[in-house]
Structure 1
Amino acid sequence: MAVDSKPRLGGWLLVPLAWLTFSLLSMILVLIVYGGSLFGTALRGASFSPPSSALLQWGAFLLTTILMLSYSAWIAWIFCKRSKRLPRHYIIWLLLNVILAFKAFLFSPVEDSVVVNSLLIALLAASLFVPYFKRSQRVKNTFIAP
């Protein structure tokens, strides 16, 4: 029987994993809600009647969500595999979340309080997890697999 010498995922590492899981679930929910408009007959007519610029923005949003969902799923995979590539990619993922929240803050037609909350949560997550992933000895000891 082989003994795994790497430390198990636990402790404070469960918090970034929970944040990643929550983000994955919320992106799936967004895809279901916005993707449903492609298949609903009443919503399809309303979705494709706006000007082409709105349709272009909707398509860009959908593409961005699909790309972030794919990247997030891959990060969750390497998180569970305890890959040494994870700390760098998790930091990149956090910064992408901040950039996307800032973009939504600038260009979104959604109510301001919702967008501001989203931006503040992304900034808080990045400000807590980036230093943790850069300096924590637990992270350095856990993510050592090739």
Structure 2
Amino acid sequence: MKTKTKLEPKGIGGWLLLPLSGLLLTLASLPSDLYGPLKKIIAECSASCDGCGGVALVPIGLILFSAFVMATFIVWLLSLSYRRSRRFPKWMKISLFACTVFGALIGLCEYMAMEHGLVPRKSPSVDLWTEPLTYALIWIPYFQWSRRVKNTFTQP
């Protein structure tokens, strides 16, 4: 009697391509995402006050440091996926959450700059953390329960 073997999806493909391409796009768009807030803080600081007494260094430093950490983390995460490491799904879920925190951090830095009068008052950029939060709510369950992820990133 022949038994049918159920073919399970395996390998990087299907829906798994979307979050991986999202990582690449996040890495590529990081400089342009940072350019706007940094340019705004620096321009307003130089136009509105003489040197700002170092007040602008706090949000600028936080933005640059968090961008460096995020870029390094994304490169490491992509290397895990390339090697099909068992650790990749767990760290991918963490990175989705970290993107939400990173966006909120940039929004906080913008708010700090507004509070110190470095930039004109306006509503903070809510989309910097709501978009990554939406992605996290979609992709974390995928990485938790997808057969393709389990078959691709687990070694028998």
Task: Give the TM-score, by structure 2 length.
Answer: 0.71
Does the CA contact (< 8 Å) of 1:86 and 1:143 recur in 2?
yes
Tell me the residue number matched to 1:49: 51
RMSD: 2.9
Deviation at residue 107 of structure 1 after TM alignment: 4.4
Tell me the residue number matched to 1:136: 146
1:117 aligned to which of 114, 127, 133:
127
* 2:57 partner letter: L
Tell me the residue number matched to 1:22: 25
Tell me the residue number matched to 1:82: 84
Distance 1:116 1:143, change over 3 A: same
Does the CA contact (< 8 Å) of 1:105 and 1:112 recur in 2?
no
Deviation at residue 61 of structure 1 after TM alignment: 1.1
Structure with higher helix content: 1
Q: Provide the aligned length of Structure 1 versus Structure 2.
A: 131
The percent of aligned pairs where both chains have the same amino acid is: 29
Deviation at residue 98 of structure 1 after TM alignment: 1.1
Does the CA contact (< 8 Å) of 1:94 and 1:122 recur in 2?
yes
* 2:21 partner letter: A
Deviation at residue 138 of structure 1 after TM alignment: 0.8
* 1:117 partner letter: D
Structure 2, unpaired ranges of 5+ = 1-8, 112-118
**Structure index of larger Rg:** 2
> Per-residue CA shift, 1:67-105, capped at 9, x if unaligned?
110001110111122111101111111111112223334
Distance 1:65 1:77, change over 3 A: same
Distance (whole Å) between structure 2 residues aligned to residue 46 and residue 120 of structure 1 = 31
* 2:106 partner letter: A
Alignment partner of 1:59 is 2:77: no
Tell me the residue number matched to 1:126: 136
Structure 1, unpaired ranges of 5+ = 1-5, 38-42
Q: Map 1:3-42 onto structure 2 (within 5 A).
A: 7-30=10-33, 33=35
Distance 1:28 1:105, change over 3 A: closer
Deviation at residue 26 of structure 1 after TM alignment: 1.2
Distance (whole Å) between structure 2 residues aligned to residue 87 and residue 64 of structure 1 = 22
Task: Give the TM-score, by structure 1 length.
Answer: 0.75
